[in-house]
Amino acid sequence: MRVVSFEISMKRKKIIENDLFFHEDFGAGAKYNRGEEQIWLYDALRKGLKVLFVNQKIGEVEQSSSTWFKGFDEEFFEIQGRVFREMTPKYYKWLILQYAVRKYFLYHRNLSLIKAVKCMLKGSCDG
């Protein structure tokens, strides 16, 4: 689920019919500074909508350096845990575990696998 909001396009009618919305607690300037796209797409899938990636340019956006990503630190993992909990309260612990293992090569210099999992679990309980 590596996607940013400007890459998402959907028929307005489907959004309204399925009561899809971005969660106000997630995204730039919100309590949790990211994760809104993943939660939104997961909600769309859960409601039975088909989601696919089409490698076609639909617009342009100027991308500058990130204002929120400061590296794979404790805060990053706490927010990721909250995103997983918001996506699926039933299976978020499995998402946390698979993410910690799958992304280990990206963060292993900053945190241990156990510490990353603990941070995500801590973040999943915030609210």
* pLDDT number for residue 30: 87
Q: Which residue range(s) make up the domain with 99? A: 5-125
How many distinct structural domains can be found in the chain?
1
* pLDDT number for residue 67: 65
7: pLDDT strictly greater than 90? no
Phi-psi region of 9 (alpha: psi -120 to 50; beta: other; left: phi over 0): beta
pTM here is 0.82
Q: How far apart are CA 125 and CA 78, in angstroms?
A: 9
* pLDDT number for residue 127: 54
* Structure confidence by residue, pLDDT tens digits, 46-94: 999 988 877 777 777 777 766 667 889 999 999 999 999 999 999 999 9
